[in-house]
């Protein structure tokens, strides 16, 4: 039962964080728990357990395809956290460390959930646990961001609950026995007679719309992305990294699991069309906002919206598209980790995050600026970084499956995003630092603790792209097979 460890380790460490007395040493719980979690996840990746039928949670092929990434992301971020919390010694870190660990626990639970209700409970808990992380800085802006996150995120999560009920009711009307595990749900919808279809189909359509809206809000697909710029703009960099790579991945897994059930009922065309439309729309909206935003942390949020759009488009293409989307989950999250962490360093050196107030960062924080520029090239899919390879497979799939217009629009959005990102990043790095910035930069030291983690992320991004380990590509293939096993 190693998969229970993935949930128990962070939750026990979270209790430990609450009881721990000393402020200075408490952050060390993060890398300890993160390291253990990563070790267990890696072990399960290499030797996956077999899943008993009817279990409510377990390390199935889909969890195997993404959970090790979340674990790796958390581990590297947790090392950064030690250095970060030392710099921010003026703020109490008990709640912050606790919430980070609980978040990891619930992310592990949600990604492994095989039961519709359990998935929702874990996703909701993970959503709530992010709130204390967002307002760690304690500023008025941070509270405004938390409020907007709570309202939009809360509504999204409420809609996904309504959608879950609709899906359960559809299964009940299709003659189901009330078993709400995903495999049982998918099984109930295959080969329905006309009578059962008549009673279940409208509910199934309602369920798909509500669940896509609900979990799509968590992913940050446009037009439900409005919480993202505010949240990522105000939250500490490492929280942004964890949310852009962790909670969004959890929501993507939720969408995939629901899609599997709806596809089993013979509605694959509907799910594909809606995902394609919402994915391309997200990419377009994000690209347009990237061209106009003056804030480099909000820029990362729009970039995240764009990449969620890419995941949706990949899923819509099916087959190799889903494979590419799972690949992209890894490459995007790891690259975003480098960007968010180096952006956090730059933010501290500059004391602001608007490019009207920040420039000349190559002078103030040379290491972080260098990594930020490299990360920008990585996320805009320049070789040899990971996103290049995952997006290449995706575009190839679009061409081979005859989605020519999709591919063209995809490429146009990528180009626009490149313009937007490079405009901001070079404005930030080049030039002379503002006079007001210099004293802040003098205080900021680029210690190994805040430089090595983003560097490690960049290294991972290159490694996953150039030398994808066979065990990973095999895990993604197994996940695609699982998702198509019922259609």
Partner 1 sequence: MTSTLNLFIGLAMGLNLLALASSRLPSVIRAAALQGMVLGILPLLMEREFQWMVGLVAVGTIAVKGFVMPHLLRRALRAANIDREVKPLIGFVPSLLIGAAATIGAVALGEILPMREHAGSLLVPGSFATVVGGFLMLMGRSKAISQVCGYLILENGIYLFGLLLINSTPLLVEAGILLDLTVAVFVIGIIMDRIQKEFDSLDTNKLTTLRE
146 binds partner 1 (CB under 8 A): yes
CA distance 173 to 310: 35
User: Among the residues of 293-365, which ranges form H helices?
Assistant: 296-317, 320-350, 361-364
Summary count for the chain: helices (H), strands (E): 21, 0
Region 45-84 residues binding partner 1, contact defined as CB under 8 A: none
172 binds partner 1 (CB under 8 A): yes
Among 15, 32, 89, 151, binds partner 1 (CB under 8 A): 151
For the CB of residue 102, give the shortest distance to partner 1 in the complex, in Å.
Answer: 11
Tokens 């559809």 locate to 170
Considering the complex, state which of residue 144 and residue 430 has its C-beta at the smaller distance from partner 1.
144
177 binds partner 1 (CB under 8 A): yes
Would you say 188 and 173 are in contact if contact means Cβ atoms under 8 Å apart?
no
Considering the complex, state which of residue 126 and residue 407 has its C-beta at the smaller distance from partner 1.
126
CA distance 425 to 420: 9
For the CB of residue 183, give the shortest distance to partner 1 in the complex, in Å.
Answer: 16
Considering the complex, state which of residue 140 and residue 412 has its C-beta at the smaller distance from partner 1.
140
SS3 content of the chain, % helix, strand, coil (to 5): 80, 0, 20
Exposure string of 311-334, with b = 16+ CB inside 10 Å and e = fewer, is bbbbbbbbebbbbbbbbbbbbbbb
Considering the complex, state which of residue 195 and residue 430 has its C-beta at the smaller distance from partner 1.
195
Q: Beta partners for 113?
A: 57
Among 143, 281, 363, 484, binds partner 1 (CB under 8 A): 143
Considering the complex, state which of residue 181 and residue 315 has its C-beta at the smaller distance from partner 1.
181
CA distance 272 to 378: 28
For the CB of residue 116, give the shortest distance to partner 1 in the complex, in Å.
Answer: 8
Region 229-248 residues binding partner 1, contact defined as CB under 8 A: 229-230, 233-234
CA distance 444 to 186: 54
Eight-class DSSP state of 384: T
144 binds partner 1 (CB under 8 A): yes
Q: How many CA atoms lie within 13 A of 146 on its CB side?
A: 19
115 binds partner 1 (CB under 8 A): yes
141 binds partner 1 (CB under 8 A): yes
For the CB of residue 19, give the shortest distance to partner 1 in the complex, in Å.
Answer: 20
Among 14, 62, 145, 338, binds partner 1 (CB under 8 A): 145
Among 42, 55, 92, 199, binds partner 1 (CB under 8 A): 199
Q: How many CA atoms lie within 13 A of 145 on its CB side?
A: 24
209 binds partner 1 (CB under 8 A): no
Does the N-terminal peptide bond of residue 223 adopt cis geometry, omega within 30 degrees of 0?
Answer: yes
CA distance 272 to 48: 30
| Span interacting with partner 1, options 182-190, 285-293, 327-335, 385-393, rule CB under 8 A | 285-293
Report the interface residues with partner 1, using CB under 8 A: 115, 117-118, 120-121, 124-125, 128, 131, 135, 140-141, 143-148, 150-151, 154-155, 158, 161-162, 165-166, 168-169, 172-173, 176-178, 180, 198-199, 202-203, 229-230, 233-234, 289, 292-293, 298
């Amino acid at each position: 039962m190693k998969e229970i460890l993935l949930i128990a380790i962070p939750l026990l460490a979270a209790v430990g964080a609450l009881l721990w007395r000393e402020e200075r040493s408490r952050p060390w719980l993060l890398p300890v728990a993160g390291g253990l979690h990563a070790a267990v996840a890696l072990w399960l990746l290499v030797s996956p357990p077999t899943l008993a039928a009817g279990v409510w949670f377990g390390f199935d092929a889909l969890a195997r395809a993404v959970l090790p990434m979340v674990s790796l992301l958390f581990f590297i971020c947790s090392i950064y956290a030690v250095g970060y919390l030392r710099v921010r010694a003026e703020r109490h870190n008990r709640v912050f460390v606790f919430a980070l660990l609980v978040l990891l626990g619930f992310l592990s639970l949600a990604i492994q959930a095989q039961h519709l209700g359990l998935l929702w409970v874990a996703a909701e808990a993970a959503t709530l646990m992010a709130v204390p992380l967002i307002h760690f800085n304690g500023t008025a802006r941070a509270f405004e961001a938390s409020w907007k996150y709570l309202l939009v995120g809360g509504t999204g999560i409420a809609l996904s609950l309504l959608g879950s009920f609709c899906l359960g009711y559809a299964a009940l009307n299709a003659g189901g026995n009330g078993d709400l595990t995903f495999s049982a749900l998918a099984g109930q919808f295959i080969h329905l007679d006309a009578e059962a279809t008549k009673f279940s189909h409208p509910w199934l359509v309602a369920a798909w719309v509500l669940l896509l809206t609900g979990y799509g809000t968590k992913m940050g697909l446009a037009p439900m992305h409005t919480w993202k710029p505010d949240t990522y703009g105000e939250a500490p960099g490492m929280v942004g990294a964890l949310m852009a790579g962790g909670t969004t991945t959890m929501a993507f897994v939720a969408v995939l699991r629901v899609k599997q059930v709806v596809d089993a009922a013979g509605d694959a065309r509907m799910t594909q069309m809606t995902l394609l439309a919402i994915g391309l729309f997200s990419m377009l909206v994000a690209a347009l906002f990237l061209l106009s935003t003056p804030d480099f942390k909000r820029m990362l949020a729009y970039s995240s919206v764009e990449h969620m759009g890419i995941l949706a488009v990949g899923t819509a293409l099916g087959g190799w598209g889903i494979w590419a989307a799972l690949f992209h989950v890894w490459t995007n999250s790891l690259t975003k980790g480098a960007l968010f962490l180096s952006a956090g360093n730059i933010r501290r050196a500059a004391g602001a995050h608007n490019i009207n107030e920040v420039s000349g960062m190559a002078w103030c924080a040379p290491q972080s600026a260098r990594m930020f520029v490299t990360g920008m090239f990585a996320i805009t899919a320049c070789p040899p970084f990971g996103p290049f390879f995952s997006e290449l497979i995706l575009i190839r799939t679009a061409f081979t499956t005859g989605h020519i217009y999709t591919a063209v629009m995809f490429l146009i959005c990528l180009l626009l995003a490149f313009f937007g990102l490079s405009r901001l990043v070079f404005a930030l790095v080049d030039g002379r630092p503002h006079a007001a910035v210099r004293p802040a930069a003098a205080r900021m030291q680029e210690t190994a603790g805040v430089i090595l983690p983003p560097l490690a992320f960049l290294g991972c991004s290159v490694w996953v792209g150039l030398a994808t380990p066979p065990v990973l590509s095999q895990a993604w293939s197994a996940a695609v097979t699982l998702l198509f096993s019922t259609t």
